[in-house]
Amino acid sequence: MLVGGDELARFIQTSDWQIGMKGGGLGEAGPTVRKIRIESIHNVLKSAQERKVDFALLCGDIFEHNMISQENVKKVVTMFNQYPDIPLYLLPGNHDMLGADCVYDRPIFQQISHLKILSKSDPVEVPGAILHPCPVLSKSTTQNLTGTIQDVHEVDGIHIGVAHGSLVGKSPVPSWEDIDLPIDPSCVDRTGIDYLALGHWHSHRTFEDGTGIARIAYSGTHEQTNYGEDNAGQCLLVQIDGKGDAPKIEPIKTGQLTWASREFEMKDSSSLIELKNYFESIRGVDMVRLVINGELPLEFKEELDNILEFQTTVHKNFRVKLESLNITVPPQLEAPFDFGDPTLNQTEIHLKQLLADETDPRKRSIIVEALTHLQRFGKEAEV
């Protein structure tokens, strides 16, 4: 019979490092983000070392895919080898899935004495507990991944389930990565395990069992991946004092990058002051996404452009969407700027009339850009 060792389990839970991800949509910041994701592994393992845990539990998607470069593999292994006293238990996910060409079959992983790949559903004795791994063997599975965990209500020791997938009916989004990998939320009540450690969701979440005790948790990714995530950039310190005791779950910050995402509504020219104040409040944020909607008079478009252009020099990544911003032109078409050239004067009047009549957002954007450049040219020529 398996016995869970000491009647106390204390461990670090982490997942979804996705080393090797491209960082699509991050532009020039992509290489920086990829580099930082590797550096932040140190924060996870250092947290384990400083808190003197029994082991660290890696719950899947450590790599973005199984065809990851050996260079990136060596960087991760180097991190592992800097913490040889921390037993590592790694469950592959759907990105680094078990099977043909699995990254963990490479010889380099076989030489890490303190690493065990959880490739089977057989229980595994670890310091202070018994693990019940639930390996992902197919990305298209419709079967409950935790169905392999046996009833342990009457079995001594602390029992911890380890899986990678989505709790059925609990997902914060309709579909996560278009891959469901179903996990039964009643797993804890059915099996009697003390805790279910999960990967797959990039945001930290906890869920209660039938008695109201939080026994299911996603750690989320160790370093936030994109603007759509919340409560990311951390690992979990989990302590279970004895069989049946409530787990103590403590998030620990591991992420280095800071993120901000906001929708901003323009009402009139005074909104530019509000926008400047917002930017001042997030000056130290690395990654910024802004969606601007509402209305702004044409004469203030250049000032908005100047504000936004400066922000590209402040943040590692600055993304702004203006498609929903309506640039307005007075019905009477205000007196045009005198360019000193009849053709240019008529061009401005014509563009303003086009803008006033156009309803297609894409075409309006093109006209606004043309008007903005024309007016800027006129002001520079005046000087």
3-state SS of the chain: helix, strand, coil percent to 5?
30, 25, 45
Please give the Cα distance from 8 to 217 (Å, whole number): 18
* Ranges for all domains in the chain classified under CATH 3.60.21.10: 9-253
> In the numeric block, which tokens belong to residue 337?
């700027």
% of the chain residues with pLDDT over 70: 91
The structure's pTM equals: 0.84
Please give the Cα distance from 212 to 55 (Å, whole number): 27
Could you read off the pLDDT of 33-62 as tens digits, one per residue?
A: 899 999 999 999 999 999 999 999 999 999
Could you read off the pLDDT of 117-140 as tens digits, one per residue?
A: 999 999 999 999 999 999 999 888
Please give the Cα distance from 163 to 212 (Å, whole number): 21
Sheet of 55-58, strands arranged across:
115-117, 88-90, 55-58, 9-14, 234-240, 248-253
Contacting residues for 206 by C-beta, under 8 A, at least 6 apart: 214, 216, 217, 218, 249
Instruction: Give the count of beta carbons closer than 10 Å to the beta carbon of residue 270.
Output: 10
Could you read off the pLDDT of 298-357 as tens digits, one per residue?
A: 889 889 999 999 999 999 999 999 988 988 876 544 556 677 778 888 888 888 888 878
Please give the Cα distance from 112 to 57 (Å, whole number): 15
Of the candidates 185, 192, 155, 188, the residue with the CA atom closest to the CA atom of residue 171: 185
Q: Largest Cα–Cα distance of the chain, in whole Å?
A: 95
Question: What is residue 184's three-state secondary structure?
Answer: coil
Q: What is the pLDDT at residue 176?
A: 46
Of the candidates 71, 72, 61, the residue with the CA atom closest to the CA atom of residue 20: 72
159-164/166-167 β-pairing: unpaired
Contacting residues for 382 by C-beta, under 8 A, at least 6 apart: none
Give the DSSP H or E segment for 272.
Answer: helix 271-281
The DSSP code for 145 is G
Question: What is residue 216's three-state secondary structure?
Answer: strand
Q: What is the pLDDT at residue 336?
A: 62
Q: Contact, 241 vs 7, CB < 8 A? A: yes
Question: What is residue 204's three-state secondary structure?
Answer: coil
> In the numeric block, which tokens belong to residue 329?
């032109």
Distance of CA 198 to CAs 50, 60, 75, 114, 145, Å? 23, 8, 25, 21, 11
Q: What is the pLDDT at residue 332?
A: 47
> In the numeric block, which tokens belong to residue 138?
């197919």
Contacting residues for 217 by C-beta, under 8 A, at least 6 apart: 13, 195, 196, 197, 198, 204, 205, 206, 207, 236, 238, 247, 249
> According to CATH, what is the number of the domain 9-253?
3.60.21.10
The DSSP code for 383 is -
Of the candidates 207, 249, 248, 257, the residue with the CA atom closest to the CA atom of residue 229: 257
Of the candidates 283, 292, 290, 235, the residue with the CA atom closest to the CA atom of residue 258: 283
Q: Contact, 270 vs 295, CB < 8 A? A: no
Q: What is the pLDDT at residue 323?
A: 87
Q: Contact, 130 vs 157, CB < 8 A? A: yes
Residue numbers in the chain where pLDDT is lower than 50? 1, 5, 176, 332-333
Structure-derived torsion over alpha carbons of residues 290, 296, 301, 303, reported in degrees to the nearest 10: -80
Chain length of the chain: 383
Q: What is the pLDDT at residue 60?
A: 95
